[in-house]
Structure 1
Amino acid sequence: MKSRGIVFLFYIAGLAILTFGISLIINAGLGAGPWDALFVGLAENLGLTVGSWTFIIGFILILINGALLKERPDFAALITMFLIGIFIDFWLLIVFGGVTLEAYTVRGLVFSLGVLSSAFGIASYLQSNFARNPIDNAMMVFHELTGKSLSFSKTFLEVSILILAFFIGGPIGVGTVIVAFGIGPLIQLFYRPITAFRHRLAAV
């Protein structure tokens, strides 16, 4: 029971930290991550909020991931997508609503913090096998099907979505490239120490 409680804590905290990082990256205005650029582009061109599009695309990915693994779609992941959508809109519309960053130095620092927070959040909530974000589960599916590392799998998918986001008109910039190539290695960097920390907590 204690172990489940710890895993649940990593799950919720990870989602909160992940979405906090996403909001920082978007607000920095240096180019959002590929997936987030896609969601922002859809929100700007078709309406609805960024969080809403996160949920909609997540639902589509749940179907795709299930088909690739030839398994029943993980509809429990809708819980994660719902929480991520709520958290993103909370950070963007309530906490950071109306915030404008001008100085490039500040924007660079905010962006860097956003990237680190996003990778840390992903590595944290992946400690749970429950209702994984289908975006990150796609990384795990690619990893399992190809045998490639988590770093390579994440980077490959990020670059693919980057191309799609570009044609949709999402906020693409130098930051987008940094996220596409940098967040995979950062997840790999954070994953093992966070896992070790979780095991130590469970053993106490």
Structure 2
Amino acid sequence: MKYVFFCVGILILTLGISLTIHSDLGTSPFDALLVGLSVQVGLSVGSWEIIIALLLLCCNSLIRRRRPEVLGLLTALVTGIGIDTWLFLFHSWTVPELWLHKLVYMVIGLILIGIGTATYLLTHFAPIPLDRLTLIVQELMRTNLFVARTIIYLIFLGLALILKGPIGMGTILTVCLGGFILNIFMPLTKRILERFIHQSSSWSDS
């Protein structure tokens, strides 16, 4: 059951990321970095997700002074494939022209990213190195997810600006609200998953 929730979480997360990219309002600083690398250097957005994940995997290992969490790279691989798949499917869609439609794409994308991230993190199955870094910063600074996520977003924002990634109003919304949304959905999603697992256990016992 844990792996089902993991896959569902990644599916929702990558859909949210793709919607923010397609909104043309600017993406999260991390995704803006990926898009910037894709445009400036080449390769797909999903491919850069995997490459950056490998670098962060090593970074996390050094900070924690532990062996690299290799399974996190598997999660990044699935995420990268998911992003490229959604973007391929969205390729036939026209980019929204009305500002209101762009905003709807962005808001829905942010909510889905929060739900998807919370869902797969709660399975405790090797988070993406970026999300592991968020948890490490949270632990080291003894703060909440909102503050930890915002600090990391600001770092990647600087890198995305250098590589001319899609920075815009959506990026500002992500920096200001990304951690807040995740902080909201973590306990909410946890209650829903626990209730679902409890009901599944009751049905299997009966």
Q: Normalising by the residue count of structure 2, what TM-score does the alignment of the two structures yield?
A: 0.94
Aligned to 2:202: none
The offset of 1:44, in angstroms, is: 0.2
Q: State the secondary structure of the residue aligned to 1:189.
A: helix
Aligned to 2:41: 46
Aligned to 2:29: 34
Work out the number of aligned pairs and report it: 198
Instruction: Tell me, yes or no, if structure 1 residue 17 matches structure 2 residue 12.
Output: yes
State the identity %.
33
Instruction: Give the aligned residue type for 1:109.
Output: V
Instruction: Tell me, yes or no, if structure 1 residue 96 matches structure 2 residue 84.
Output: no
Pick from 53, 58, 67 the counterpart of residue 63 of structure 1. 58
Aligned to 1:129: 124
CA distance in 1, matches of 2:108, 2:188: 19
Q: Normalising by the residue count of structure 1, what TM-score does the alignment of the two structures yield?
A: 0.95
Aligned to 1:72: 67
Aligned to 1:112: 107
CA distance in 2, matches of 1:173, 1:103: 16
CA distance in 2, matches of 1:36, 1:98: 21
CA distance in 2, matches of 1:61, 1:158: 14
Instruction: Tell me, yes or no, if structure 1 residue 185 matches structure 2 residue 143.
Output: no
CA distance in 1, matches of 2:123, 2:60: 18
CA distance in 1, matches of 2:125, 2:119: 13
CA distance in 1, matches of 2:103, 2:192: 30
CA distance in 2, matches of 1:128, 1:62: 19
Q: Show structure 2 runs of 5+ residues with no match.
A: 200-206
CA distance in 2, matches of 1:164, 1:77: 22
The offset of 1:128, in angstroms, is: 1.7
Instruction: Give the aligned residue type for 1:31.
Output: G
CA distance in 2, matches of 1:166, 1:201: 42
Instruction: Give the aligned residue type for 1:97.
Output: H
Q: CA deviation digits over 1:108-164, x for unaligned, max 9?
A: 111110011111110111112212111111100101111111110001101111111
Q: CA deviation digits over 1:145-191, x for unaligned, max 9?
A: 11111110001101111111011110100110110110101011011
CA distance in 2, matches of 1:97, 1:131: 30
CA distance in 2, matches of 1:165, 1:85: 18
Structure 1 window deviating more from structure 2 (35-44 vs 99-108): it is 99-108
CA distance in 1, matches of 2:197, 2:107: 31
CA distance in 1, matches of 2:154, 2:92: 30
CA distance in 1, matches of 2:115, 2:66: 29
Instruction: Tell me, yes or no, if structure 1 residue 8 matches structure 2 residue 9.
Output: no
The offset of 1:98, in angstroms, is: 3.5
Instruction: Tell me, yes or no, if structure 1 residue 84 matches structure 2 residue 79.
Output: yes
